[in-house]
Structure 1
């Protein structure tokens, strides 16, 4: 079954509805003029008459309905039109003909049998269509199977569900949305059908039903199931869904907010256009506010938001301050499990919004989100703590490539930066969170002053970690301290050596390919900056680099050049006999 919108989707619905009625009238006249196969033509006429009555009944419905779901109408009417055209061609051949055409018959009884079967199927389709629209949804969802969808029951179900979202009362719409949610959860093909058949718009409309939390949860959960790919997340955004989602999120009770924030996170995760659209709708600020709820610095954080941009804060406050005050009162009595679930999902949404996005990372730092994230990392455990740490890792990744963000958010005298660094250092020995903590520290390597032993010491210690991935991550982070692009690379290199980083690096040269690579890079940096170090001589780094030139390096020209530089500096000091 082709779910793409064909040519019939471009035609006005009035034209599609009128054509088969005109065809049925012409067939009726032609049947009366038939000279051969009169019995068969009469049977065709009866079926066409019945079909004509159904077509006219549906027109009467469309004249009284302000709007209706037209996807199944277009598909069924197109099929009915095709079958009526076949009927018209066949009965025309049964009118008076020449002597020659009477001898050479071009019509057979088999042609009529095939046509009658097609007309029967069209009658079944119209009967199904009328059952969907005639009751106005008063009796719930119709899940019978029209002939046009006999090979694909899911298509008929989707049509029935979406039609009910347009026509039925709210209680039925909730049931219908849950049915679509179940279908969308089953497999991606069902998701494709729901989206292709126009399911997004009525779900977004249901999400706006702020009088019914159950309706909002059903709609947002269904949209969440649909948004697991870039294309479908983008379609929700293109249907102007982001403003609706954000508005519903801000105004809703906590259990609805949990469902909606999951949708926000998934769309931001899968589609960068949606990621940016949510930022334009100022969703980051309420996320940070909810994350900081019932914390010591909550008032300070909210006050800080207002200081960023007075006009923007005015707009934000006028639209949501009364809502937030109501929500605060309501959520005081909410179970702690719900509050934790909301915070966990808000942190996940911030992570997805910050991932690979410099502008969103900057907004989070503007809202004093770093302080909030650091405090939660300090006091919480589990998924909430992990999500906050991953958000910080994304912000530090953006800061690594953007000097302005680095200087603004992570300047040495910043309370937020100090709080973040303290928590990253505390997490480094934690086996579950070591790698993102180390990576975050490495991303900030250019922000630390010379001889920063408090930072480098724990990283060097992790070079000997039992997990080679942790050791490799530490070597990568220390490489950012010692690389020539770091203004303080020489001072940091000396500190790495002072903390006995050479020996574990030499051991890492016997590890896997990735481990060898990053250990070799860091050893080259140390040789380039502190080639006269006794630790490098005693560890026989020169011999290791010379061997690596033939083994580990392979065809990597950049690494080969780096090894040559390292060997040069070691030889230079070795020949001069200068060792410290």
Structure 2
């Protein structure tokens, strides 16, 4: 997992270093470039923090946020490279609208916010001091997706109590509409939910089993959970789990069977 995250981050870190070098060589638009370099250096620092914490980062939002960051850094590099032209004539020929610098600066600021959020959301909940994470700038595209990311991140790194609360939030989101349920599956929510079914408190196990039941939206969704070994986990709970949890799992199995009549978990 850590190696995958480092590969995702590598290009963005390289681009940030190239921007720093290009700005040092800038012969024109120096004032405009100074703001670009200031924000690029701040972003580079966050990217290197992410690289050091690669084993802790939740891969799905990491990939989405860093892909966006990479595109922004690539555009910023193209912009500052134009500033290396020397001489008055080349400055005249190389026309760069002020709006281009303003837009790039704003995009870099958004990336700083996105990567900062990624570091916070991936950190252990014990180290957050119950801070409100808020939504990153990239969330303006799809706020619900980022709420789901936050809850799944807690499932990976939170205490048992926090994981139970996050699962209850996912249950609520899954109940709202089918798209939310599909997003929870697509964004890697099934594996940590099953882990909580196995090792959580009774309340956490109930919440996790309930969430999994709500994710049985259609045959494809049920098949995804079969591939995630849901039957193995459910069978173990049927044999030795608390009765309250067994009852929720029995309901979840009935939900799966309603979508896939041949579905059956050994009891």
Quick check: TM above 0.5?
yes
1:137 aligned residue (122, 125, 128): 125
2:111 corresponds to 1:122: yes
Q: Is the 8 A contact 1:21 1:52 kept in 2?
A: yes
SS state of the match for residue 107, structure 1? coil
Q: Which residue of 2 aligns with 1:104?
A: 93
Q: Which residue of 2 aligns with 1:234?
A: 223
Q: Is the 8 A contact 2:210 2:248 kept in 1?
A: yes
1:533-568 Cα offsets, whole Å, 9 max, x none, are xxxxxxxxxxxxxxxxxxxxxxxxxxxxxxxxxxxx
SS state of the match for residue 91, structure 1? helix
Which whole-Å CA distance do the structure 1 matches of 2:21 and 2:57 have between them?
Answer: 32
Identify if the C-alpha distance between structure 1 residues 13 and 266 changes in structure 2 by more than 3 Å, giving closer, same or farther: same
Q: Which residue of 1 aligns with 2:164?
A: 174
Q: Which runs of 5+ in 2 are unaligned?
A: none
Q: Is the 8 A contact 2:181 2:217 kept in 1?
A: no
1:53 aligned residue (35, 45, 59): 45
2:182 aligned residue (192, 195, 202): 192
Q: Which residue of 2 aligns with 1:27?
A: 19
The 5-angstrom pairing of residues 5-44 of structure 1 reads 12-44=4-36
Q: TM-score, normalization: structure 2? A: 0.92
Q: Is the 8 A contact 1:165 1:176 kept in 2?
A: yes
Which whole-Å CA distance do the structure 2 matches of 1:12 and 1:199 have between them?
Answer: 19
- Number of aligned positions between the proteins: 263
SS state of the match for residue 94, structure 1? helix
CA-based RMSD: 1.9
Q: Which residue of 2 aligns with 1:72?
A: 61
Q: Is the 8 A contact 1:141 1:161 kept in 2?
A: no
Which whole-Å CA distance do the structure 2 matches of 1:261 and 1:146 have between them?
Answer: 38
The 5-angstrom pairing of residues 413-562 of structure 1 reads none
SS state of the match for residue 83, structure 2? coil
Which whole-Å CA distance do the structure 1 matches of 2:132 and 2:8 have between them?
Answer: 24
Q: Is the 8 A contact 1:55 1:126 kept in 2?
A: yes
Runs (4+) of structure 1 exceeding 6 A deviation are none
1:228 Cα offset (Å) = 2.5
Q: TM-score, normalization: structure 1? A: 0.44
Which whole-Å CA distance do the structure 1 matches of 2:19 and 2:72 have between them?
Answer: 12
Which whole-Å CA distance do the structure 2 matches of 1:100 and 1:80 have between them?
Answer: 33
Which whole-Å CA distance do the structure 1 matches of 2:133 and 2:14 have between them?
Answer: 31
1:217 Cα offset (Å) = 0.3
Q: Which residue of 2 aligns with 1:372?
A: none
1:243 aligned residue (207, 224, 232): 232
1:71 Cα offset (Å) = 0.7
Which whole-Å CA distance do the structure 1 matches of 2:178 and 2:144 have between them?
Answer: 12
Q: Which residue of 2 aligns with 1:573?
A: none
Q: Which residue of 2 aligns with 1:461?
A: none
1:105 Cα offset (Å) = 2.9
Q: Is the 8 A contact 1:125 1:146 kept in 2?
A: yes
Q: Greater relative contact order (Cα 8 A, min sep 6): structure 1 or 2?
A: 2
Identify if the C-alpha distance between structure 1 residues 44 and 58 changes in structure 2 by more than 3 Å, giving closer, same or farther: same
Q: Which runs of 5+ in 1 are unaligned?
A: 1-10, 287-580
Q: Is the 8 A contact 2:117 2:133 kept in 1?
A: no
